[in-house]
């Protein structure tokens, strides 16, 4: 007999359609049977599991544009099993895994490995990027057509593709297969430092990474997009000028999408403090004026999506001098509460924050059935208490690595239940 779950008295929000109403949602098997105000006014169907959602919000599950999942090669930092558990705890029902693993995901065997391990884990949906260049070395293009046919969700090297001639060929070739190039814009010859260039870096005696390293590569790539007609996504936008560049490009009709991550709207370079390596990120934390511009870019839609940019590292990679520490922080379980922080501050409407976490990233990845509430669509859901306060404790995160730059930060908004294809993959214990 098909398992049924009835979610009762929830605040139903579907940013894709603008729905925001108190109502019910019925799941049958792996699909959403129906939803809406008064749907189950006469009670749940006989035998259905009942979930009382009074005071809680039920929305499409979050779709994460970019994350490192450890396997293959970096299982000491994270595994697909632990990444899936952490993502589920954060309300994420689908994520796109970066290809810069060991070996690099630049062939069919690598894509099949990720797909197989995700099936075995049976928790969240994991899609894989393929490397844009062989071994992410920035020299030779991968077999984009074959990899796309095999299920690659997009193409990226994780880090910047520095050679403009190569990027031009890549955009043109990928466009022929309807594929998007995901770029981490940072001119490597300018980005040799370890934190944002400026007064803080000078005071700490650390090498600086100027914001212009991001802007210059972004400007270059946008000209190449104009030249080739390619599809391009800029990852981890962190500077005010980058927001301006993208705003102007969109006004000219250039096909570009972009994202940012919570550190760039919730933290600044001052959080580095006295060489706190958990705040060493790529791109680096910027100035407060940059942070404010990122918030404004999210509010007006210049920045399309919010991603976790989950980058797990073990203690040996972080508990070293700042200059030697690895870049990156874990982000699955803080993604939703940090986005909700913008809502609680009145900087974003709830529907806009959720749109940046659900159907917009799904659309960018070409996953048109995900990130939305659809009758007959996959039952990928997150049930959360938007107002519940809690304090981030890195040691209690489900991720295998604990390099969290929001440790001990008070936040508001807690995931209560995560559902993937009708299966409950996480419930809050408290």
> How many whole angstroms separate alpha carbon 24 and alpha carbon 40?
6
> How many whole angstroms separate alpha carbon 417 and alpha carbon 124?
13
The tokens describing 398, both together, are 């489900």
Cα-to-chain-centroid distance, residue 90: 11
Q: Residue 245 in 3-state DSSP?
A: helix
> How many whole angstroms separate alpha carbon 139 and alpha carbon 182?
17
> How many whole angstroms separate alpha carbon 423 and alpha carbon 84?
14
> How many whole angstroms separate alpha carbon 429 and alpha carbon 376?
30
The tokens describing 206, both together, are 């650390």
Q: Which helix (H) or strand (E) holds 202?
A: helix 199-204
- CA dist list (Å): 149 to 137, 159, 177: 23, 24, 9
Helices 164-176, 212-228: axis angle to 10 degrees equals 50
Best CA proximity match to 139, nearest among 128, 147, 131? 131
CA dihedral of residues 55, 61, 66, 72 (deg, nearest 10):
120
Q: Residue 300 in 3-state DSSP?
A: coil
With contact defined as beta carbons under 8 Å apart, do 232 and 255 qualify? yes
Q: Residue 138 in 3-state DSSP?
A: coil
The tokens describing 6, both together, are 């009835």
Best CA proximity match to 408, nearest among 388, 422, 394? 394
With contact defined as beta carbons under 8 Å apart, do 150 and 111 qualify? yes
Question: What are the residue numbers of the active site?
Answer: 309
């Amino acid at each position: 007999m098909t398992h049924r779950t009835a979610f009762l008295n929830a605040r139903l929000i579907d940013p894709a359609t603008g729905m925001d109403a108190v109502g019910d949602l019925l799941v049958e098997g792996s699909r959403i049977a129906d939803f809406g105000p008064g749907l189950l006014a006469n009670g749940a169907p006989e035998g259905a599991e009942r979930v009382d959602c009074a005071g809680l919000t039920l929305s499409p599950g979050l779709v994460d544009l970019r994350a490192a999942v450890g396997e293959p090669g970096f299982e000491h930092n994270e595994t697909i099993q632990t990444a899936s558990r952490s993502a589920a705890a954060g309300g994420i029902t689908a994520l796109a895994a970066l290809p810069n693993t060991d070996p690099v995901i630049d062939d069919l065997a690598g894509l099949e490995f990720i797909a197989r391990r995700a099936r075995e884990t049976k928790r969240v949906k994991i899609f894989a990027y393929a490397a844009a260049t062989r071994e992410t070395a920035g020299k030779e293009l991968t077999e984009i057509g074959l990899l796309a046919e095999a299920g690659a969700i997009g193409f990226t090297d994780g880090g910047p593709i520095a050679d403009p001639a190569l990027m031009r060929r890549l955009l043109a070739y990928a466009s022929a297969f309807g594929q998007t190039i995901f770029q981490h814009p940072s001119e490597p010859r300018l980005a040799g430092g370890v934190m944002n260039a400026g007064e803080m870096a000078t005071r700490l005696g650390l090498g600086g990474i100027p914001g212009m390293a991001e802007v210059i590569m972004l400007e270059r790539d946008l000209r190449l997009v104009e030249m080739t007609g390619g599809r391009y996504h800029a990852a981890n936008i962190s500077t005010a000028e980058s927001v301006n560049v993208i705003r102007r490009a969109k006004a000219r009709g250039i096909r570009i999408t972009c994202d940012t991550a919570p550190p760039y709207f919730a933290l600044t370079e001052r959080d580095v403090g006295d060489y706190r390596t958990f705040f060493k990120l790529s791109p680096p934390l910027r100035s407060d004026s940059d942070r404010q511009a990122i918030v404004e870019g999210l509010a007006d839609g210049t920045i399309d999506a919010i991603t976790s940019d989950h980058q797990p590292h073990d203690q040996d990679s972080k508990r070293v001098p700042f200059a030697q520490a690895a870049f990156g922080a874990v982000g699955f379980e803080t993604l939703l509460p940090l986005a909700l922080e913008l809502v609680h501050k009145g900087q974003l409407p709830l529907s806009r924050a959720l749109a940046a976490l659900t159907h917009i990233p799904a659309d960018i990845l070409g996953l048109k059935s995900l990130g939305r509430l659809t009758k007959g669509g996959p039952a990928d859901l997150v049930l959360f208490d938007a107002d519940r306060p809690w304090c981030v404790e890195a040691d209690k995160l489900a991720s295998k690595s604990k390099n969290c730059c929001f440790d001990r930060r008070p936040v508001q908004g807690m995931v209560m239940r995560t559902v993937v294809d009708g299966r409950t993959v996480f419930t809050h214990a408290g």
